[in-house]
Amino acid sequence: MTHPIQEVLQRIGVNDHPVAVAVGNTWQAGAGEALTGKSPIDGSTLVTLTQATPSDVDTVVATARSAFQTWRNVPAPRRGEFVRLIGNALREHKADLAAIVSWEAGKITQEALGEVQEMIDICDFAVGQSRQLYGKTIASERPGHRLMEQWHPLGPVGVISAFNFPVAVWSWNAMLAFVCGDPVVWKPSEKTPLCAIACQQIVNNVARDFPEAPDGISSLLIGGADVGQALAAHPDLPLISATGSVPMGRAVASTVAGRLGLSLLELGGNNAMIVTESADLEMTVRSALFSAVGTCGQRCTSLRRLIVHDSIADKLLTSLKKAYEKLPIGNPLDEGTLVGPLIDQRSLDAMQTALRTAEEQGGTVHFGNPIMQDVPAGGCYVHPAIVEMPGQTEIVQQETFAPILYVIRYTELDEAIALHNGVPQGLSSSIMTNDIRQAEQFLTPAGSDCGIANVNVGPSGAEIGGAFGGEKETGGGRESGSDAWKAYMRRATNTINYSTELPLAQGIKFDL
Ligand code: UN1
């Protein structure tokens, strides 16, 4: 019997070529070992392919390099038109792509559709950006001179992405890269190969009818960490944008730094919500719930720490536990399900180990048990956990990529902010409060130390319009909105002398 995903793939145009390496319209098997892609929903086999190896990297990068020679000269608004058409194709295939995301990453339909919507949104954003790649004109200190800066295409960009946002994170990078004049070479997570194949096919479909789009504007290499490392080491990829774990980011960053390349990193988060005594509790429960259990706790931005004022902690915990009790957990494709499966058994084991460790460190665990009944067989389903902790112990300072919400109490806001910032990661954060002074304090230089700091909104579910990323072990990169586009371009500072004299800067005299 054919898997229901086959029909979806065919509608996108992925027929009989789910293979590991794609350079534009040329699809081929990799030189590596076989990879079997299984669905976290029920363990069913979705795809079998031969993976790429580091030996496949050179040819792919060479094609991207030659694509760059032409794409960089296409006027940026035309490059924007290319992205506008990709956005249209994504609109057309929104439900199909979301279904692939659900089958491969285990997301509930609403969240999978939301992820594809992020792709459409970044396309729109990038189209607008394509007419706004502004440089400055700067007053020169010399008479008859003008200083200006231009933003030029940087070169082919290597994108390494994770399983949990298998399509959106690539699109944040790729759509900006395309309008900035850069081809993209993508190494997705081995856990979500079909998502990547479908995206590559969608770009191919558009590129085929777009005269200026060179072959190799978009390439794909499905392979393991060795392929990621080969991209990181490649001198013809001036920028590597990597999303995933801290150890992965560290390995990539040191390789890229070794050749003095640029890296854009979006790594782990250990995101918190401070709930002050004046918070709207109903809103707090709703936003904490979405942030903590949405995507089964597998977002970089997932809420992992709830830092609650002592005076309201009992009340909040009672309401939260009530909400957790009735969480609809199960097949993410079923309407009404809010929590789908974890990605795999390793993830479930890591969660169970973290819960035992938390107990050893003085925690009281509520829920958190694996679920076997009324869920599809073959998937790793779990009841999200709430863990009351006596303080911010070692396990609380780690990111466990699963739905564990640690609850810590505080009495003074300064103490709450210190706890908040007292972890190695710095991605997203939030404060729930109706006290404007507390809200503002959270946003000052002495407040949250994260790249994203929200008031009365949970830490997850950011819009694409803002710059996305964070500090400390999160890696410091910024993707998506605001001026993140600048990372995909190189800045040239130009001094133009339109006089007949040759005055030197700093008033230096240097005449014979
Ligand atoms: C991620 O988990 O890598 O803010 C990205 C959010 C989403 C993106 C998460 N817009 O939760």
Q: Copy the structure tokens of residue 453.
A: 């700091």
According to the model, what pLDDT value does residue 30 have? 85
CATH code of 57's domain? 3.40.605.10
Q: Do both 360 and 482 map to the same domain?
A: no
Is there a domain that residue 508 lies in? no
For residue 162, the ligand 1 atom closest to its alpha carbon is: 3
Q: Which of 266, 388, 473, 479 is catalytic?
A: 266
Averaged pLDDT, groups of 10, the chain, 512 residues long:
88 78 80 93 94 94 97 98 98 98 98 98 98 97 98 98 98 98 98 96 95 96 96 98 97 98 97 98 98 98 98 98 98 98 98 98 98 96 98 98 98 98 98 98 98 98 98 98 98 98 96 91
429 phi and psi angles, rounded to 5 deg: -160, 165
Q: 165 in a domain, yes or no?
A: yes
Asked whether residue 174 falls in the same domain as residue 127, the answer is: yes
Q: Which pLDDT score is estimated for 29? A: 85
97 shares a domain with 246: yes
Other CB atoms within 10 A of residue 196 CB: 26
CATH assignment at residue 370:
3.40.309.10
C-alpha 165 – ligand 1 centre gap (Å) = 7
- CA 459 – ligand 1 centroid, Å: 9
Residue 479: per-residue pLDDT:
97
In this structure, the answer to whether residues 62 and 145 fall within a common structural domain is yes
The answer on 276 and 178 residing in a single domain is: no
What is the pLDDT, as a whole number, of residue 1?
A: 64
**Alpha-carbon 383 to chain mean position:** 25
- Residue 185, both tokens: 């070479």
Q: Is residue 501 part of a domain?
A: no
Which amino acid appears at position 155 of this protein?
A: G
> Are the beta carbons of 323 and 285 closer than 8 angstroms?
yes
Instruction: Quote the CA–CA distance of 162 and 169 in Å, as a whole number.
Output: 8
Tell which one of 273, 299, 425, 478 to mutate to probe ligand 1, the residue whose CB is within 8 A of the most ligand atoms: 299
**In terms of domains, do 282 and 185 share one?**
no
Residue 473's pLDDT is 98
Do the domain assignments include residue 451?
Answer: yes
- Token pair 């319009």 is found at 465
Pairing between β-strand 385-388 and β-strand 364-367 as defined by DSSP bridges: antiparallel
Same domain, 263 and 308: no
Residues 263 and 290 in one domain: no
What is the token pair recorded at 165? 């946002």
Tell me the whole-structure pTM to 2 decimals.
0.97
Say whether both 289 and 258 belong to one domain: no
Residues 162 and 233 grouped into a single domain: yes
Pairwise CA distance, residues 107 & 332, whole Å: 6
Residues 154 and 206 in one domain: yes
Is 266 labeled as catalytic in the residue annotation? Answer: yes
Clarify whether residues 163 and 175 are in a common domain.
yes
Domain containing 428 equals: 271-455
Let me know if residue 503 belongs to a domain. Answer: no
- 99, amino acid identity: A
Domain count, the chain: 2
- Closest by alpha carbon to 469, among 264, 329, 323? 264
ipTM above threshold 0.90: yes
